[in-house]
Amino acid sequence: MPTSLGIHHVTGIARNAQQNVDFYAGVLGLRLVKKTVNFDDPDSYHLYYGDELGSPGSVLTFFPWPRALSGRAGVGEVAVTSLAIAPRSIGYWLERFVTKGVEHAVPTRRFGESVIAFKDRDGLQLDLVATESADGRGHWSGGSVPAEHAIHGVHSVTLWEHSLERTEQVLVNGLGFSKLSTEDTTTRFVIGDGGASRIVDVRVVGGFLAPIGGAGTIHHVAFRAENDAAELELRNTVIGLGMHPTPVIDREYFHSVYFREPGGVLFELATDAPGFTVDETLDALGTALKLPPQYEARRAEIEQRLAPIHEPLMPPLLGIHESDTVTS
């Protein structure tokens, strides 16, 4: 049976593109690896952040929609996105969050690892997870965070679900995850060695409220397919489980298939290739607005509609905004 290689990327919704750049490239120190447009809505940006290469498993992407209302995480959605750091970096990030005015919680323990829950400027729920597997993954050393404390890509995602069984079937029989263990109402599923980017947590929240899409919520999570052939095999597998995936869609930097798992979360299958250097050199990643071929003829119009964005502006010290009540 074909299996996924883990998480490819996670895509969220933001309101303000510059604020998004300031937070993810500035405060978190990720590399802006691609500045393009939403292929289905070319009058809005699609921004990609990750390690030096934008490696699969390191990438967060955002649709900044200026008129987006604030959303709400709910059942049937990726509620929390966790990022990997080295255990030595806990103190550094606590201090950084205080000085940058980032809403965050005191560290807790989850599945044997230290976790700092925090929120971005739109209220998106995030975690930093101190994991021994972080150092084996790439990072970006050219940003505002010292290399020894850099974020090492996505650690995991947490799905909020009414129940476990049907989602488990898709993760295990469709994507090749295996069940590792359960803590309270959260069950952990892993691919391979279960290191960073190879983990999905499913939290059963019963009759919790439905999500409201908008700024501060996750749009979808993408899982890695090694190549086009593997993606087609995975697509056929999920069809066999009763899902209704889209045809393969060319997203320029990867090829995509989308479907909703039984609990309602939007899943994507995304190929590792061709990657972000298909239209920019490694040194120049994220420096120019890149458009897919079908929109090049409209470049002047599109550029006029998009608000200009620039390198992150680091805000002044905003005081302490620490809270131990951030939901995770």
pLDDT of residue 316: 47
Distance separating alpha carbons of residues 242 and 169, to the nearest angstrom: 11
Residue 324 has pLDDT above 70, yes or no: no
Neighbours of 298 (CB within 10 A): 14
Residue 252 reports pLDDT greater than 50: yes
Within a domain: 122: yes
The CATH number that applies at residue 257 is 3.10.180.10
How many angstroms separate the CA atoms of 211 and 68, rounded? 15
Range of the domain at 281: 7-305
- The single residue listed with the structure tokens 């029989």 is 173
Is 297 part of a structural domain of the chain? yes
Q: Which amino acid is at 223?
A: F
Amino acid 241: pLDDT: 97
Collapse the DSSP code of 34 into the 3-class scheme (helix H, G, I; strand E, B; otherwise coil) and give the result.
Answer: strand
pLDDT grade, residue 328 (50/70/90)? very low
Long-range contacts of 29-33 (CB under 8 A, 24+ apart): 29/140, 29/143, 29/144, 29/145, 29/150, 29/151, 30/60, 30/140, 30/143, 30/151, 31/140, 31/142, 31/143, 31/285, 31/286, 32/285, 32/286, 33/59, 33/276, 33/285, 33/286
Where is pLDDT greater, at 7 or 327? 7
3-state secondary structure of 72: strand
Residue 73 lies in a domain: yes
**Average pLDDT of every residue of the chain:** 94
Is residue 120 in some structural domain? Answer: yes
Is residue 90 in some structural domain? yes
Those residues with Cβ within 8 angstroms of residue 283's Cβ, 6 or more apart along the chain or in another chain? none
Better-predicted residue by pLDDT, 120 or 206: 120
pLDDT value, residue 322: 37
Q: Summarize the confidence of residues 58-70 as an average pLDDT.
A: 96
Q: What angle do CA 66, 70, 246 make, to 5 degrees?
A: 75
Percent with pLDDT over 90 in the chain: 91
Q: What is the pTM of this model?
A: 0.94
pLDDT at 207: 79
Confidence at residue 319, expressed as pLDDT on a 0 to 100 scale: 39
Closest CA to 131 of 61, 83, 203, 81: 83
- State the average pLDDT over residues 123-141: 96
Question: Does residue 257 have a pLDDT over 70?
Answer: yes
Give the phi and the psi of residue 148 in degrees, each rounded to 5. -70, -15
Alpha helices in 1-124 (DSSP H): 17-21, 90-99
Secondary structure element (H or E) that encloses residue 169, with its range: helix 165-169
Nearest to 174 by CA among 116, 124, 237: 237
**pLDDT, tens digit, 9 for 90 and up, residues 266-310:** 999 999 999 999 999 999 999 999 999 999 999 999 999 999 999
Q: Considering the domain boundaries, does residue 270 fall inside one?
A: yes
Reply yes or no on whether the pLDDT at 128 is more than 70. yes
| pLDDT computed for residue 323 by the predictor | 38
| pLDDT attached to residue 2 | 79
- Kind of pairing between the strands at 217-225 and 249-250: unpaired
Residue 196 Cα to chain centre, angstroms: 13
Give a yes or no: residue 214 inside a domain.
yes
Q: Find, among 203, 175, 210, the residue nearest to 188 by Cα.
A: 203
Q: Give the model's pLDDT for residue 314.
A: 58
pLDDT band at 229 (very low <50, low <70, confident <90, very high): very high
In a domain, residue 31? The reply is yes
Per residue in 182-201, pLDDT (tens digit) is 999 999 999 998 999 999 99
pLDDT of residue 311: 87
- In the three-class reduction of DSSP (H, G, I as helix; E, B as strand; rest coil), residue 171 is classed as helix
Of 78, 266, 50, the residue nearest 154 (C-alpha): 50
> What's the domain count of the chain?
1
Element (H, E) at 183: strand 178-183
> 142-167 pLDDT, tens per residue?
999 999 999 999 999 999 999 999 99
- Quickly list H helices, 195-315: 228-240, 299-305
Could you tell me what percent of the chain has a pLDDT over 70? 95
The whole-number pLDDT of residue 208 equals 82
pLDDT tens digits, one per residue of 32-43: 999 999 999 999
Query: Between these two residues, 318 and 285, which has the higher pLDDT value?
Result: 285
